[in-house]
Amino acid sequence: MAEELPGTNVAAEAAGRDAFPAAGQPLLRIEGVAKTFGTFRAVDGVSLDIKAGEFFALLGPSGCGKTTLLRMLAGFEAPDEGRILLGGKDIAQALPHERPINMMFQNYALFPHLSVRDNIAFGLKRAGMPRAEIATRVAEMVALVKLEGLEKRKPDQLSGGQRQRVALARALARRPQLLLLDEPLAALDKKLRESTQGELMELQRRLGMTFIVVTHDQEEAMTMASRIGVMKAGKLAQVASPRELYEAPRSRWIAEFVGDINLFDGESKLRDGHRLVIGTRDAGALVVAEPREPVGAGRLAVAIRPEKVKLSRRGPVSEAGREAAINRLDGVIADICYLGGTTTYKVKLDTGGTVQASVVNSARIDVDVYSLNQHVVAWFTPDDCVVLPS
């Protein structure tokens, strides 16, 4: 059954390749790589291991160096410092056409003078593959990305989604050890982007190939990648799974960059077993769970995701013995943002600050609907808080 899928023999071939690193070894090792343009340090000492079969995302705002890093992996830029090891071999200075790495370009970079078939076959012809084999492989790729019947079209006779598929097929045709994707979905509209995300993940799993995707869209990175590297000003700020990145951001900047968050600046006041009490300017004293990595004294920030803030009219229903540990903040509803699945309330606290609470609209008929200026209690548990150095 599985053998009939056009992609499976690709995976088998990839797995059997000599250059493929032994289990446990990283496929790609980036060691202290840096790149300077003039006086601008675009990539500043990045080290990173990527395992075979991973779907890795480089996430960051524009200008953070993620594209430069990707271009160094493809060979379009040579690093000023550091090594790039692919299967144990340093390829930092190798030219793009000498690397077993292919790239899917932002805006696709399809050859406008070549048909879909010739675009996909381009890399195979350069590899000196026999004609008959090329024809088979192209047919395989066309089937893989579901472009049957469009082989003779030129790129400008295709829709955006179709062009994206051609670009993907062209990059996959050579069965690279590593596929780089530069903002692969940025040019698609929202609906198509979501369905294509799923297809990319499914394809990556099926081919067992290693993908590195560069994106500025955190939702895209969270959905597709098994691991995310967040870049800021040329450095890797955090490398973690999507869940860890969201629930345990390492810095205030990451907490704010990934998703929405409420932040309360303050100072550590006292320790009570596994709890810390932090005095904040805007929300009074907050009880938080002690962080895994001890934070120093001095200025701290308490971070809480909006969906972890609960609202009620009279405060949390008391649970014996736990009530004392729950943070409750009184305030009035200052703003309501209905988003369909959820509603975001902005609560103006009596202590001065504001807190955002995201409430799931779990019933069709109004159950927990608050109105503007209504008095509410916003509450959350110590475990839902993250303490960050300020």
Partner 1 sequence: MSSRRIFARPARRAAIAPYVWMVLFFLVPFAFVLKISLSQTAIAQPPYEPVFDLTAGWDALKGAFAALSIDNFRLLVSDDIYVFAYVRSLTVAITATVLLLLIGYPIAYGMARLPKRWQAVAMVLVIVPFWTSFLIRIYAWINILQHDGLLNQILLALHLVSQPVVWLSTDTAMYIGIVYSYLPFMILPLYATLAKMEPVLEEAASDLGAPPWQVFWLVTFPLSLPGVGAGVLLCFIPIVGEFVIPDLLAGSNALMIGQTLWLEFFTNKDWPVASAAAIVLLVVLLVPLLLYERLQKRQLEHGR
Which residue do the tokens 């988003």 mark? 339
CA dihedral over 28, 253, 283, 373, signed as positive or negative: negative
Give the number of other CB atoms < 10 A from CB of residue 228: 26
What 3-state class would DSSP assign to 386?
Answer: strand
DSSP, residue by residue, 126-137 = HTT--HHHHHHH
In the chain, what's the furthest Cα-to-Cα distance?
76
Question: By 3-state DSSP, what share of the chain in percent is helix, strand and coil, each rounded to 5?
Answer: 30, 35, 35
The nearest distance, CB 17 to partner 1, in angstroms, is 16
Least CB distance from residue 295 to partner 1, whole Å?
Answer: 45
From the list 181, 169, 158, the residue with the least C-alpha distance to 119 is 169
The least CB distance from residue 199 to partner 1, in Å, is 22
Spatial CA neighbour of 74 closest among 208, 167, 212, 170: 212
Cβ 124 to partner 1, closest distance in Å?
9
Task: Tell me the Ramachandran region of residue 90: left when phi exceeds 0, alpha when psi lies from -120 to 50, beta otherwise.
Answer: beta
Nearer to partner 1, 123 or 242 (CB): 123
Eight-class DSSP state of 108: B
Least distance from C-beta 74 to partner 1, angstroms? 6
**Residue whose CB is less far from partner 1, 123 or 306:** 123
Nearer to partner 1, 87 or 176 (CB): 176
**160 and 22 in contact (C-beta within 8 Å)?**
no
Quote the least distance from Cβ 184 to partner 1, whole Å.
14
Please say which residue, 207 or 261, places its beta carbon nearer to partner 1. 207
Minimum distance, C-beta of residue 161 to partner 1, in the bound complex (Å): 19
d(CA 264, CA 388): 10
Q: Is 362 helix (H, G, I), strand (E, B) or coil?
A: coil
Q: Which is nearer to partner 1, 20 or 105 (CB)?
A: 105
Residue nearer to partner 1 on the CB measure, 97 or 292: 97
Closer residue to partner 1 (CB): 114 or 369? 114
| Residue 77, both tokens | 């830029």
| Count of CB atoms situated within 10 Å of the CB of 335 | 12
Q: How far is the CB of 16 from partner 1 (least distance, A)?
A: 21
Rounded distance, CA 377 to CA 314, Å? 6
- C-beta atoms surrounding 53 within 10 Å: 17
Under the rule (CB under 8 A), what is the footprint of partner 1? 74-76, 95-97, 101-103, 105, 107, 109-113, 122-123, 126-127, 154, 156-157, 170, 174
Taking the least distance from each CB to partner 1, the nearer of 14 and 288 is 14
